[in-house]
Structure 1
Amino acid sequence: MSAIEPLLGQSARDLTAWVVERGQPSFRGKQLHNWIYNKGVRSLADITVFSKAWRERVQDSPVGRSEIVERSESRDGTVKLLLGLEDGETIETVGIPSRDRLTVCVSSQVGCGMACDFCATGKGGLKRNLAVHEIVDQVLTVQAECDRRVSNIVFMGMGEPLQNFPNVLSALRCFNEDIGIGQRHITVSTIGIPKQIRRFAQQQLQVTLAVSLHAPNQSLRHQLIPSADRYPIERLIADCRAYVDITGRRVSFEYILLGGVNDAIQHAEQLADLVGGFQSHVNLLLYNPISEADYQRPAPDRVERFLQRLQERRVAASLRRSRGLDRDAACGQLRRRQLTGLSG
């Protein structure tokens, strides 16, 4: 990666200091900020409000934009991008449009070390954390590809956000202050990292915390998420309760339904016992099959019974409909196909 810090991810104050250090008046900082975050410029050479001579002097300073390696669009309009980074690594990001919003699913790491048994990303292991500009770039790239402003961001792409804590926090600030996306329109998803949920709570952010649970007991969770042995489910839930106490905001629990594995009525009962009694919401998701794992989508009647049982137990719950199923919907599939040379 470049030894020169990219400009993307820096605040208006930082960019103003940067141009002043290079002989420009301070008002040029606001112009540079506008060209980077609103116009989505990829090179300083393209910022025509600066003189050509000055642009040539700073031409080695990177903005910090990635390149699109592969683009896949599903029938429902979901756009999935494989982005090439400066060191040759690749990551995925997804644009999910609807009538009144454009949501971007961003990655926080190259690969993932959580090793979830049902996840394509986890099959490849963790390479490294993403830098701030590499996280922010995903939103600007999707915005340009979809030709509309991004309204919502979910950290549900490749990687574990709370393992990249400082850079994710900086990216959250950038999304909010520089791109103008309200914190309440941002969700940070985590498998659960010891001590990090309470640390995240101390930031007093207005973002939504989503905890990827996927099992209602420790033994099944360990089977699905081997890394979960470091964070017993009882302690995880205790930290989620503390998060609610500290922030006053509810916790969302993500629960992928795997046919014949975690979708029985007794699992719904256990889940209700686990998350009932405090400010929370359960998002049920249907599994997106991958070739590397022998799991199946649950039968519709089992999904309906599972959801109904949670609601009977007074657990706030809803079923999230899958998007992009016809185009490598599961996180990590585009990247693994590129790395292994598998055909689509």
Structure 2
Amino acid sequence: MPDQTPTPDSLQTFHSLAELHERLSALGAGPAHERRVYRAWMGKIKWEEAAESRRLRLPKAVAEALPGIRGALRNVAAIRSRHPGADPESERLLLTLADGQTIESVLLPRQGVCVSTQMGCAVGCVFCMTGRCGLIRQLSDIEIVAEAAIARELRPETKKVVFMGMGEPSHNLKNVMRAVEFLAQMGDFGQKNLVISSVGDERLFDALFASPVRPALAVSLHTTDDEKRRELLPRGARMAVPRIIERAESWARTTGYPVQYEWTLMHGVNDSFEEIDRLADLLQGKYAMVNFIPVNAVEDSPWVRPDRAQAVELVRRLRGRGVIATLRDSAAQDVDGGCGQLRARVLKSERGESK
């Protein structure tokens, strides 16, 4: 396992991608030199290669500062604990940030990583542990990128980043879009392999169309009923469902990537045939797919999963209407891996509370 221990000097860190750029520029790095450093950070070349390449020599000041820059980048986010799932390709990571706070990332099957964009979340989804803790603070652009860098260090083959961890990306829009642009342009991630998940926000759609990068889009929908959606997502369901689908469809046609509609299945809430038929009506002919995800078991929560036979039938019903649909589980379910659950469990243990 790579050494992720922060250096003793807690001030030896970077607080933004702009600060990292300014540091390198002050040392005399040009664009090509900067890219060399970024590629080393993102695991595309070895740090030794960045310093010693004959094809492109770094300015002396940059080369001499490289160990310190590497250490400062390690201090942005470091692995606190690792929690492998039953699936050998899934592993949840608890990360410590420079200020001592913690966030979660998940290594996913098929060479992916799920990253957090906020510490906590203000949307308050009633079925989500992250929503219970509220918003603690925004993650900086460099903290978001550091999650992908750690994934690359652990698994060099990582090629996909999904922004589906703790937080609502549209509520931290500038930092998320800067991170997406950096990962596409400096991290060698294909644009369609950068997937932003959102409850739906006009500002996010505006930012997507204004961006030089074309990431894929996932929408946390969960129901077709606007009133029910406001109950499930108390502070995140301002757009009406038809409007969300209209704007998402426009983005899908612009990028050529289908929209992924996320639907957390809850027994007696959104697993009826009537609801799924309404969803089919909205999505027929659209460039879209639906991912059904049985709800995570959260302590003291009234929300439970439908039985698997019912979930399978919902998939079959949508497919019968010509809408692509899948049934999947959240990664690392067997280690309390739902969003925010690992962080909550560790904090509870540290306070000496019983499970």
Q: Which TM-score bucket, shorter chain as reference?
A: 0.7 to 0.9
Of 118, 123, 126, the match for 1:114: 123
| 114-123 or 179-188, larger mean C-alpha shift | 179-188
Q: Tell me how far 1:53 sits from its aligned partner.
A: 11
Q: Partner residue of 1:339?
A: 347
**Separation in 2 of the partners of 1:58 and 1:73?**
31
Per-residue CA deviation, residues 187-217 of structure 1 (Å, 9 max, x unaligned), is: 1100112342243234264321000000121
Counterpart of 2:136 in 1: which secondary structure?
strand
Whether the 8 Å CA contact 1:189–1:211 is kept in 2: the answer is yes
Q: Partner residue of 2:107?
A: 95
1:233 to 2:241 alignment: yes
Q: Partner residue of 1:325?
A: 333
Q: Tell me how far 1:29 sits from its aligned partner.
A: 4.3
**Separation in 2 of the partners of 1:167 and 1:242?**
24
Alignment of 1:176-215 (within 5 A): 176-203=184-211, 205-215=213-223
Q: Partner residue of 2:38?
A: 33
Q: Tell me how far 1:245 sits from its aligned partner.
A: 5.0
1:125 to 2:134 alignment: yes
**Separation in 1 of the partners of 2:66 and 2:186?**
26
**Separation in 2 of the partners of 1:335 and 1:210?**
24
**Separation in 1 of the partners of 2:83 and 2:211?**
36
Whether the 8 Å CA contact 1:190–1:210 is kept in 2: the answer is yes
Residues matched between the structures, number: 334
Of 287, 308, 312, the match for 2:316: 308
Q: Tell me how far 1:58 sits from its aligned partner.
A: 6.4
Counterpart of 2:180 in 1: which secondary structure?
helix
Structure 2: 5+ residue runs without aligned partners? 1-9, 53-57
Of 76, 93, 99, the match for 1:65: 76
1:221 to 2:229 alignment: yes
**Separation in 2 of the partners of 1:58 and 1:329?**
34
Q: Tell me how far 1:272 sits from its aligned partner.
A: 1.1
Q: Tell me how far 1:172 sits from its aligned partner.
A: 1.2
**Separation in 1 of the partners of 2:63 and 2:287?**
58
**Separation in 2 of the partners of 1:57 and 1:72?**
29
Q: Tell me how far 1:69 sits from its aligned partner.
A: 2.0
**Separation in 1 of the partners of 2:198 and 2:31?**
40
Whether the 8 Å CA contact 1:115–1:226 is kept in 2: the answer is yes
**Separation in 2 of the partners of 1:52 and 1:194?**
42
Q: Partner residue of 2:27?
A: 22
Q: Tell me how far 1:225 sits from its aligned partner.
A: 1.1
| 166-175 or 49-58, larger mean C-alpha shift | 49-58
Q: Tell me how far 1:333 sits from its aligned partner.
A: 0.5
Q: In the superposition, relative to structure 1, how do residues 246 and 183 fare at CA in structure 2: closer, same or farther (>3 Å)?
A: closer
Of 69, 75, 89, the match for 2:86: 75
Counterpart of 1:289 in 2: which secondary structure?
coil
Whether the 8 Å CA contact 1:40–1:140 is kept in 2: the answer is no
Q: Partner residue of 2:5?
A: none
Counterpart amino acid of residue 70 in structure 1:
S
Identical-residue share of aligned pairs (%): 31
Q: In the superposition, relative to structure 1, how do residues 196 and 29 fare at CA in structure 2: closer, same or farther (>3 Å)?
A: closer
Q: In the superposition, relative to structure 1, how do residues 253 and 26 fare at CA in structure 2: closer, same or farther (>3 Å)?
A: closer
